[in-house]
Amino acid sequence: MSELSSNITLGAGCYWGTEKYIKRDFQKMFPNSIKSASVGFMSPFEDHKKNPSYRQVCTGETGHVEVLNVELNEPEKHLEELIKFFFLFHDPTTENRQGNDVGTQYASAIFVNDPEQKKIVDKVINDLQSHLDENKSPYHGNKVMTLIHDATEFYPAHDEHQEYLFKNPNGYCNHYMRMKEFPLN
């Protein structure tokens, strides 16, 4: 069994809302679970544009996803809970879209760093899909479109985009709590 990485990178549409929900709400549920988190970009492709700007990513031509790069204090204790929480505030059944935000940069995506992380992510997605198939979710009848990729290089966004919704509480965010808790078997 390989060691579980403490870093995982999550794309759930606009990275401002992803950051807000994970840094504020997940951290409330699991105090001191997050060591650090920052918004930026990651590509599912090994051969990708290096250090893209926000404007370049927004064109959709780079293939990068807006992401939150998270480092957990105790991944063996909190990673599965983080992945479950990730599915509570965005729609994982839309391809490259969250509400009005459309494009590859808004993909629902999880970038893993090791086989153990991938196993945990696969388990959570399979659990969610079985609930969708059984009509036990707001997305019943749909398919989970969340992409799972090996992590590539993370490019942090500019400083003004870090903690944007903490600095601008009335700023744009299309995320909201779509489910109160992760479906349980």
Nearest to 178 by CA among 31, 21, 39: 21
Residue 184's pLDDT is: 56
14 labelled catalytic: yes
| Domain encompassing residue 50 | 7-167
For residue 176, tell me if it sits in a domain.
Answer: no
131-160 tens-digit pLDDT: 888 876 778 889 999 999 999 999 999 999
For residue 117, tell me if it sits in a domain.
Answer: yes
For residue 179, tell me if it sits in a domain.
Answer: no
Average pLDDT per block of 10 residues along the chain, 185 residues long:
87 96 96 98 92 94 96 97 96 93 96 98 95 81 95 96 95 89 68
DSSP codes, 64-89: -EEEEEEEES-HHHHHHHHHHHHTTS
Spatial separation of the C-alpha atoms in residues 110 and 107, rounded to whole Å: 9
Residue 185's pLDDT is: 45
Enter the pTM of the model.
0.95
CATH number at residue 124: 3.30.1060.10
Spatial separation of the C-alpha atoms in residues 162 and 178, rounded to whole Å: 24
For residue 2, tell me if it sits in a domain.
Answer: no
Residue 163's pLDDT is: 96
Which is the catalytic residue, given 8, 12, 14, 82? 14
Q: Look at the chain and report how many structural domains it folds into.
A: 1
For residue 183, tell me if it sits in a domain.
Answer: no
Spatial separation of the C-alpha atoms in residues 20 and 104, rounded to whole Å: 21
For residue 60, tell me if it sits in a domain.
Answer: yes
Q: Which residues, including other chains, have CB under 8 Å from residue 167's CB and lie 6 or more apart?
A: none
